[in-house]
Chain A
């Protein structure tokens, strides 16, 4: 059974930093592309970033490019999102999502999410 468990969310001041983690189990983590998707309170879904299985390919939404960095540690079966220069509009629940094998960026399975609140 695929399990994705996000952590690292919390309250942070504007301009601050936070690192989210997503611990994966139930599948061969290194074989699958992974993504981060967020949802602001009461709003729809917004894709944030994606990374290939080996970690060599990354993509970002324009809204986070230059501020967020996606990475993965395949030895620890963990996906990360380093978030710097945080803004109020980054407040959202952040979900990690598992893709399909190779550079296949479907969103097949979702974690339960972690809430990030950017406020002074």
Chain B
């Protein structure tokens, strides 16, 4: 099973700041890495698929990069609605696995 390790566990920032979230895989997942956002009481929402492709309707301030084992989600300038939990997820190998999540909170 491919283990995804996200860092940091919690990130405290202010609106307007830049956020950088990391996801490291225990073995190569090629580019089959996605990022999902989840707000309290809501279902997850796909932000980025295949490492760097924004899903439909996702603002341009969200970007993804990386390949192989190291990936980054960047939010260029935080909006109030961006404070949430973010999960990375791989579909390179069965079983599909998720990282443990990064909580992005308002400082």
Q: Are A and B co-members of a single complex?
A: yes
B36: Cβ under 8 A from any A Cβ = yes
A111: Cβ under 8 A from any B Cβ = yes
Interface residues of A in 71-120 (CB under 8 A from B): 95, 105-113
Q: Are A47 and B96 in contact, with the CB atoms below 8 A?
A: yes
How distant is the Cα of A62 from the Cα of B94 in the complex, in angstroms? 10
Residues of A within 8 A of B43 (CB): 95, 110-113
Q: How many residues of B contact A (CB 8 A)?
A: 20
Selected contact of B101 from candidates A37, A44, A60, A62, CB within 8 Å: A44
Residues of B within 8 A of A45 (CB): 36, 38, 44, 87, 89, 98, 101
Q: Are B44 and A47 in contact, with the CB atoms below 8 A?
A: no
Interface residues of A in 11-41 (CB under 8 A from B): 35, 37
Instruction: Evaluate whether A105 and B91 lie within 8 angstroms (CB atoms) in the complex, with A95-B43, A110-B43 already known.
Output: yes
How distant is the Cα of A107 from the Cα of B101 in the complex, in angstroms? 16
- B15-49 vs A, CB cutoff 8 Å, 1 = contact: the mask equals 00000000000000000001010100001111001
How distant is the Cα of A105 from the Cα of B89 in the complex, in angstroms? 11
Interface residues of A in 38-62 (CB under 8 A from B): 44-47, 50, 59-62
